[in-house]
């Protein structure tokens, strides 16, 4: 898999991916603003044969947060999510980021299993973070 920085030309594909996986999207304008106006934003695309299979969006400062992370359902269980998360963690280590946090739906057991396998720890619950579903906040020390 090739991992490369996202460009504005990728926005519609990211929106389609988010809608496919989450049944909703951060939206074109949000993604545009992240790419073009937010100096803390770092969004990368995972590609196989020059086709997007997934992406991960981070906000990076002394601490980092995963804004969104998705792999197309028909491309899951092929190691692409692990590769994107490994890339993100390597990037954060190289930039001396202390911790990485994220929210995940309480019902998303597959994602929770992935994060736990990477050494993330459950921190706390955010009630009704996703409309009618709680989020579990996961945190990982990247550079302790």
Q: Among this protein's residues, is 55 annotated catalytic?
A: no
Strand 99-105, strand 2-5: pairing? unpaired
- In this prediction, residue 107 carries a pLDDT of 93
Active site residue 115: yes
- Would you tell me how many other CB atoms lie within 10 Å of the CB of residue 19? 12
Q: What is the pLDDT along the chain (144 residues), one digit of tens a residue?
A: 999 999 999 999 999 999 999 988 999 999 999 999 999 999 999 999 999 999 999 999 999 999 999 999 999 999 999 999 999 999 999 999 999 999 999 999 999 999 999 999 999 999 999 888 999 999 999 998
Terminal alpha carbon distance of the chain: 29
What pLDDT sits at residue 74?
94
Calpha distance 26→31 (Å, rounded)? 7
Element of type H or E holding 66: strand 64-71
d(CA 105, CA 116): 14
In the set 103, 106, 129, 130, the catalytic residue is 103
| pLDDT of the residue at 131 | 81
d(Cα 23, Cα 70) in Å, to the nearest integer?
Answer: 12
d(Cα 133, Cα 125) in Å, to the nearest integer?
10
Write down the pLDDT at residue 84. 98
Catalytic residue selected from 55, 80, 91, 115: 115
């Amino acid at each position: 898999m090739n991992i490369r920085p996202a460009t504005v030309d990728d926005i519609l594909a990211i929106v389609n991916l988010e809608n496919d996986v989450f049944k909703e999207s951060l939206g074109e304008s949000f993604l545009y603003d992240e790419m073009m106006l937010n100096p803390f934003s770092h969004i990368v695309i995972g590609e196989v044969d020059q086709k997007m299979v997934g992406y991960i969006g981070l906000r990076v400062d002394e601490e980092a947060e995963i804004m969104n992370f998705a792999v197309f359902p028909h491309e899951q269980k092929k190691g692409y999510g692990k590769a994107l998360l490994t890339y993100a963690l390597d990037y954060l280590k190289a930039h001396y980021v202390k911790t990485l946090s994220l929210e995940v739906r309480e019902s998303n057991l597959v994602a929770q299993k992935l994060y736990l396998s990477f050494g993330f720890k459950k921190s706390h619950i955010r009630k009704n973070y996703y409309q009618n579903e709680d989020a579990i906040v996961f945190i990982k020390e990247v550079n302790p």
